[in-house]
Chain A
Amino acid sequence: DAGVTQSPTHLIKTRGQQVTLRCSPKSGHDTVSWYQQALGQGPQFIFQYYEEEERQRGNFPDRFSGHQFPNYSSELNVNALLLGDSALYLCASSLAYLDNNEKLFFGSGTQLSVL
């Protein structure tokens, strides 16, 4: 049973560029959440997708956008990259109606470096 998989594992971009990160949820899960984890900090919630719609959003600018596909996989897009966007981006999946959506399974993350 595959867990949450994210790609790529590492990425280097320059300021102003755009990036797309991908996530495949754990088998059977229908909800995907994205978190940003800066070095030495705890993860911060970006947004959550369920039924292909953004259900809740954290305090992130519109440069951060996402998408969920019919197979429940998800993408995170970041436009006009800033140096401060350098971080580990974590994807977490869950099942909407199990444990009140509280049992999250995290991927290993994509390490984004913006130069």
Chain B
Amino acid sequence: GNSVTQMEGPVTLSEEAFLTINCTYTATGYPSLFWYVQYPGEGLQLLLKATKADDKGSNKGFEATYRKETTSFHLEKGSVQVSDSAVYFCALKGTGRRALTFGSGTRLQVQP
């Protein structure tokens, strides 16, 4: 079955540091890949997505590239802000499937 593995947190960074959150997946076919963000007390929000190999999703300074050869979709940001503190979830949607499969989430804490 489909699965998503992401690095455990919490990840603690100083403001303006470079961020990488690793995500790898297992799926048959050609899944779509997503990063969702959950701010305290709020619902999940779609951060970015990529639907085919070598696609790069980007939003609000965050980027992730769909790497089929390494089955990865790592999230990066060049300079994090305190306001980026949240829990980040990597997810996939399998071909012909209606459900999203989520990783366990990575908590990011950015200190001023």
- Hey, which bits of chain A sit against chain B, CB under 8 A? 3-4, 33, 35, 40-45, 48, 55-56, 58, 90, 92, 100-109
- CB <8 Å contact, B32 and A102: yes
Least CB distance from B24 to A in Å reads 14
B81 at the interface (CB under 8 A from A): no
Identify the interface centre among B32, B43, B51: most chain A CB within 10 Å of its CB: B43
Find chain B residues with CB under 8 A from A42 CB: 4, 89, 91, 102-105
Chain B interface, >50% SS class: strand
Task: Give A106's nearest chain B residue, CB to CB.
Answer: B43
> Chain B interface (Cβ within 8 Å of chain A)?
4, 32, 34, 36, 41-46, 49, 51, 89, 91, 93, 97-105
How far, in angstroms, from A56 to B99 measured CA to CA in the complex? 8
- Nearest opposing residue in chain B for A50, CB measure: B98
A41 to B104, Cβ gap below 8 A? yes
Measured CA separation A27–B15 after assembly (Å):
37
> In the complex, which residues of chain A have a beta carbon less than 8 angstroms from the beta carbon of B97?
56
